[in-house]
Amino acid sequence: MALNVFDHDEYRPPVWKSYLYQLQQEAPHPRRLTCTCEVDNRPKYYGREYHGMISREEADQLLSQAEGSYLIRESQRQPGTYTLALRFGNQTRNFRLYHDGKHFVGEKRFESIHDLVTDGLITLYIETKAAEYIAKMTINPIYEHVGYTTLNQEPTLKKHLPLSPEAPDGPAPVKDNCNAEERLTSLVRRATLRESDLAPKYEKVHNFKVHTFRGPHWCEYCANFMWGLIAQGVKCADCGLNVHKQCSKVVPNDCQPDLRHVKKVYSCDLTTLVKAHNTKRPMVVDMCIQELETRGLQSEGLYRISGFSELIEDVKLAFDRDGEKADISSNAYEDINIITGALKLYFRELPIPLITYDAHPRFIEAAKITDPEKRLESLHEALKLLPPAHCETLRYLMAHLKRVTQHEKENLMSSENLGIVFGPTLMRAPELDAMTALNDIRYQRLVVETLITNEDVLF
């Protein structure tokens, strides 16, 4: 089956590098050195590899016969603490050993001592044999040729390239009856995405989480093997990109969330949501505001009066389930306050507020300025600190709220009233003491009030 990819001079199909994979195969295998006598007070989570309170010298002598051999001993210096003694590189290495339901000597946690030692030997062997190679892995990464760089440079699909049936150095082949999309790693899939001419160019950092890969996996940044038994690298929770932990530090901020990873609308990072759905603003914001402006601008106490909480929750579930197909018309929800409640709930549940934690102090500082012109200048500078998707959503919301104030005679909602409602919702404070947070409330109100009144000047 042919796959759509971008026609680009530098594009090459991925060449997965096998050097580190070969090294993992060569790594010493663990050899458990069992204790032949009964040991008193052996912890229940250790087996016959536990030798009790023996010295470093005794452990060294016992392990000297075979590479990869290991035992556990109780520390003579600190009784009640335990040491993993491991033979590697013709010397015995000692590691402080911990157990909290799983075994660990560092960040990784293992179900068994055998797995811990297996992973440790692989890591020690590869990092010893290939230290210089690993240090240079991120130079000339494959990502520059197949990643989002290619995608953004040439947004028009021009050419069909067949998927190569041979990948001798790559991940294990999958069954023939899998569809084309399943055959691709997220890296190659990146080169098959069509980018809409109208799609906003929002920058988004990857949401990397430590991940355990089942079976051989290759880094989609440097194309090198991801070694180890567990937690071999990190995976972006939003787009599925798989990379080494060290490579994640240099991957561009070009995450393109995949709808298969973005499961909901509420409580989802705003930039993640708009990039996943390829929109300028969250659909819940656009749809609620359009509904409100169609039938609610003259409703008394708009945004101040609360709707029935269970029905607001229904709207939230409808958006999470149906996305832009959610029905929020008057046929479904006659009370307009349910729609305002759903919109306010969306902003409250954002993991990063619309006015972000990073920008929050600058907005508060601006609100404290008494001179109106200087305050506007300071707010204008503060707006530049917002991520583009946040700024665009804020602009759209403020324009809407200004239209609400234009019907103040009917709805009784002034910019000051709306500032009281939306201040704490849009700019939740970072971790502050209670008194500081309380003092900030009046400035949050003033920020929103000023943004509404001067929406046409500030945005």
Asked whether residue 272 is domain-assigned, the answer is no
Asked whether residue 270 is domain-assigned, the answer is no
Are 114 and 230 in a shared domain? no
Kindly provide the residue ranges of all beta strands, DSSP E only, lying in 228-373, ordered along the sequence. 233-236, 242-243
| Whether the Cβ atoms of residue 255 and residue 203 lie closer than 8 Å to each other | no
Asked whether residue 52 is domain-assigned, the answer is yes
Residue 225: domain span: 208-261
Helix (H) or strand (E) holding 348: helix 336-348
Closest CA to 413 of 339, 289, 340, 304: 304
- Domain of 435, CATH number, reads 1.10.555.10
89 vs 92: CA distance, rounded Å: 8
Burial code of 199-218, b = ≥16 C-beta within 10 A, e = fewer?
A: eeebebbbbbeebebeebbb
- pLDDT of 224 reads 92
- pLDDT of 152 reads 33
- pLDDT of 187 reads 44
- Domain of 214, CATH number, reads 3.30.60.20
- CB half-sphere exposure, 183, CA atoms < 13 A: 18
Asked whether residue 179 is domain-assigned, the answer is no
pLDDT digits (tens, 9 = 90+) for 234-268: 999 988 999 999 999 999 888 888 888 888 999 99
Are 240 and 295 in a shared domain? no
Are 95 and 238 in a shared domain? no
- Is the sign of the CA dihedral 295, 313, 405, 269 positive or negative? negative
- pLDDT of 201 reads 73
Closest CA to 113 of 67, 58, 49: 49
- pLDDT of 148 reads 42
Helix (H) or strand (E) holding 97: strand 91-99
Residue 40 Cα to chain centre, angstroms:
47
Are 221 and 361 in a shared domain? no
Asked whether residue 24 is domain-assigned, the answer is yes
Asked whether residue 301 is domain-assigned, the answer is yes
- pLDDT of 142 reads 75
Are 301 and 354 in a shared domain? yes
Judge residue 236's burial from the number of C-beta atoms within 10 Å of its C-beta, 0-12 exposed, 13-18 middle, 19 or more buried: buried
394 vs 383: CA distance, rounded Å: 9
Asked whether residue 387 is domain-assigned, the answer is yes
Distance of CA 449 to CAs 384, 401, 405, Å? Answer: 19, 10, 11
Tell me the chain's radius of gyration from C-alpha atoms: 29
Asked whether residue 425 is domain-assigned, the answer is yes
Are 253 and 282 in a shared domain? no
- Domain endpoint, select from 136, 163, 178: 136
Largest CA distance in the chain: 91
Are 233 and 104 in a shared domain? no
Query: Which parts of the chain have pLDDT scores under 50?
Result: 1-13, 148-197
Task: Say how many domains are in the chain.
Answer: 3
The sheet with strand 69-74 has its strands ordered as 31-32, 69-74, 82-88, 91-99, 103-104
- Domain endpoint, select from 81, 111, 136: 136
- Domain of 96, CATH number, reads 3.30.505.10
Are 247 and 295 in a shared domain? no
The β-bridge relationship of strands 69-74 and 31-32 is: parallel
- Domain endpoint, select from 120, 136, 152: 136
In sequence order, what are the beta bridge partners of 315? Answer: none
- pLDDT of 309 reads 94
Q: What is the dihedral of CA 259, 260, 263, 264, to 10 degrees?
A: 10
Are 242 and 334 in a shared domain? no
Are 350 and 406 in a shared domain? yes
- pLDDT of 430 reads 76
Are 343 and 428 in a shared domain? yes
Are 365 and 406 in a shared domain? yes
